[in-house]
Structure 1
Amino acid sequence: MSTIPTSADDAQQNRPLAGILFLVLACTVFPVQDVIIKSLSDTFAVHQIVFLRGVFALPLVAVIAHFDGGLRPFRIGPFFLQMARVTSAFSSYLFYYMALATLGMAETASITFSTPIFVTVFAMFFLGEKIGAFRWFAVILGLTGVVVIVQPGAGVFDPAAVLALLAAVTYAMSLILTRKIGNRAKGGSMTLFTLFVFVIYGGLLGLLFSNVEGSSPHPSFAFLYRAWIWPELWHWFLFAGLGCIAAIGFFSLAQAYRLAEASVVTPFEYTYLPWAILWGFLIFGTLPDMNTWIGLVMIVGAGLLIVFREASKGRKLVVRRGLGIMRQR
């Protein structure tokens, strides 16, 4: 789940090929991050991983921001609105990786790619946008795809699927809050602030669960309840790698949406999915079942319908910021 927000005052150029390449780079490195975190999920707590990833990523992102235009003035907009946005994003991050501890990479990603559907619905309630028949069709199509994957009421249902859905819902809310903040914040300032708060939240959860005895037999909840442990030497290299991936991914996302219109580059966010399927098979020996394939096609189709409809109508919520799915990582 990435955390790069963009603001209206971030300069945008018109270099579509460069923007696409940067987005594809981000969608290539973030699945590697997911592989590492899933591999660590039976040893470390999710909040410890969030904390250590942030510790390594913060200085790297600060250096990149310094050479990419600087951080002055440091502007995050209304503090309480910003904290609500970061808290929603952190919740999404937590839900996503808790789900990933149990589900396959492709299945988790497929469900969370329903984010644009919830952005569309929330925009109606919180931003006063009107949803026409075309976008309602996309919403219904995408939600049907989620139901096909999750299979509520079936014997194969896993509560981790609900966590993946909550990741999509909470991240959609963070995108709505980003829209409300608008040009009162700078993209680079918001990114550093988000990473910093993630580290604080991870540390607070570590303190909370250090005094909680016992664990859950379910892998997703054990990933949350587990107390911190001291990493071995090779673990430190993995955490440093997570920090580097975060920095590269954040920079690539920022460049992608700075260099090209979101309506051009956003469809390439879906290049994450082939990598998720490939790594899931090579590392964990899992492949999507037929229900996941069918639901995935429906969700991706709904997301693309929303993007192209937004672009044709000139709306800013998706056209400026894209789907926001990769920013979730």
Structure 2
Amino acid sequence: MAMMSTYPVPAPSRAVHGILCITAAMLLFVVQDAAMKSLLVTYPVWPLLFARSVVAVMVLVPLIVWLGAPHSLRSALWPLHLARAALFATGFSMFYAAFPFMGLAEVSTIFFAAPLFTALMAALFLGERIGAYRVAALVVGFAGVVIAMRPAGGLDLVAVLPLLCALSYAASQILARRIGERESTLTVGLYTLAFSGVLILPAGWAVAQIVPDTAATQHLRWGLPAGALADLASLTALGLVGMVAYMLASRAYQVANASLVAPFDYTYLPFAALLAYVLWAEVPPPATLAGMAIIIASGLCIGWRETRAARRGDTTPAIAESTFTPGHPPPQVSEDDQTP
């Protein structure tokens, strides 16, 4: 990872940087989730998520030591990292728990309420502007999510799981924006992924005690199947892909306006649908396709409006995230200065 410049980064460069990072992250997340869906036939979800955290620690700790400042193994912001880890572990446990019951495209489409939640949270908690056009786009996007969940045919409670994951994911990205560049991307990735690995095991044990052990819930059981070491290479590769994807997503929200970056999460959907068709011949039902189209259109509308505003100079990155070196405290900014 390249280290940040000590000079302020122009807003257009930050926007491009964020968009490229989030798009690359979504492509890697598609690969990761397809691998997860395949491995869940054999493995419970808990060791798969734990494996990703273990790989992250094994790679990031020596890398941070080797690179040195501004990366650090110590963090004064560990409460924020712990909160992100709890959201990450809880949310994606629910996301993957839905896989055996729903197609990859169906689960992913409902999850993509996340950018809509992110845009709303950015307005509520970060003070980012949200005008009439964006409000209209958000309403349309949520309508797409409702359609994808197919309530007219009876709401499947399993469909609520990716929706809850969307909410936790959006909250974790708002926390990433709060962290800003006070710490490097490597440090943020290490703490969040390491903490999530610590949290996922007791959480998995607790869920396994509550959920009945049936053929449909084998992916929520506690324990490893026989011969797990034979898949060590696959588990390591899964961890590496997930680690890089997560760090790229975190980086995107660190450097760019959250409501600008969020719509580009939608690049995940067409790739997920295509890969699910190629691997498992999954064809999303009409309601899912309709909801997907509406959600993508809503997200692109928000992104287009944000891009136009950035070109006119109507939006700028937050002062605290644009004028300091990673690893050093940002300048003090008054509440009046932070208000758009």
The alignment's TM-score, normalised by the length of structure 2, stands at 0.75
* Structure 2 counterparts to residues 149-188 of structure 1, below 5 A: 149-155=148-154, 157-188=155-186
Compare CA radii of gyration and give the structure with the larger one: 2
Which shifted more, 34-43 or 123-132? 123-132
Aligned pair partner of 1:240 in 236, 245, 254: 236
Percent sequence identity over matched residues? 31
Task: Name the aligned partner's letter for residue 236 of structure 2.
Answer: A
RMSD: 3.8
* Structure 2 counterparts to residues 223-238 of structure 1, below 5 A: 223-224=219-220, 226-230=221-225, 232=227, 233-238=229-234
**Larger RCO, structure (CA 8 Å, separation 6 or more):** 1
Match of 1:133 in 2: 132
Cα displacement string for residues 194-250 of structure 1 (whole angstroms, at most 9, x for unaligned residues): 11111101222344356568425654xx533x1112452432222111112124434
Aligned pair partner of 2:275 in 276, 279, 301: 279
Cα displacement string for residues 50-77 of structure 1 (whole angstroms, at most 9, x for unaligned residues): 1122212322234555566656444644
Residues 1:249 and 2:245 aligned together: yes
CA contact 2:88–2:172 (8 Å) conserved in 1: yes
Shift of 1:252: 5.0
Q: Give the Cα separation in 1 of the matches to 2:135 and 2:232.
A: 47
CA contact 2:65–2:72 (8 Å) conserved in 1: no
Question: Which secondary structure does the structure 2 equivalent of 1:303 belong to?
Answer: helix
CA contact 2:118–2:174 (8 Å) conserved in 1: yes
Count matched residues: 310
Question: Which secondary structure does the structure 1 equivalent of 2:27 belong to?
Answer: helix
CA 1:17–1:206: 2 relative to 1, 3 Å:
closer
Residue ranges of structure 2 left out of the alignment (5+ in a row): 322-340
Question: Which secondary structure does the structure 2 equivalent of 1:101 belong to?
Answer: helix
Match of 2:193 in 1: 195
Which shifted more, 48-57 or 160-169? 48-57
Task: Name the aligned partner's letter for residue 143 of structure 2.
Answer: T
* Structure 2 counterparts to residues 106-117 of structure 1, below 5 A: 106-117=105-116
Match of 1:297 in 2: 293
Question: Which secondary structure does the structure 2 equivalent of 1:215 belong to?
Answer: coil
Match of 1:45 in 2: 44
Which shifted more, 36-45 or 67-76? 67-76
Q: Give the Cα separation in 2 of the matches to 1:238 and 1:89.
A: 22
Residue ranges of structure 1 left out of the alignment (5+ in a row): 1-6, 321-329
Q: Give the Cα separation in 2 of the matches to 1:169 and 1:239.
A: 27
CA 1:71–1:282: 2 relative to 1, 3 Å:
same
Q: Give the Cα separation in 1 of the matches to 2:121 and 2:255.
A: 28
Cα displacement string for residues 121-171 of structure 1 (whole angstroms, at most 9, x for unaligned residues): 23344345553321210111011000110012414x422211111111111
Shift of 1:11: 8.0
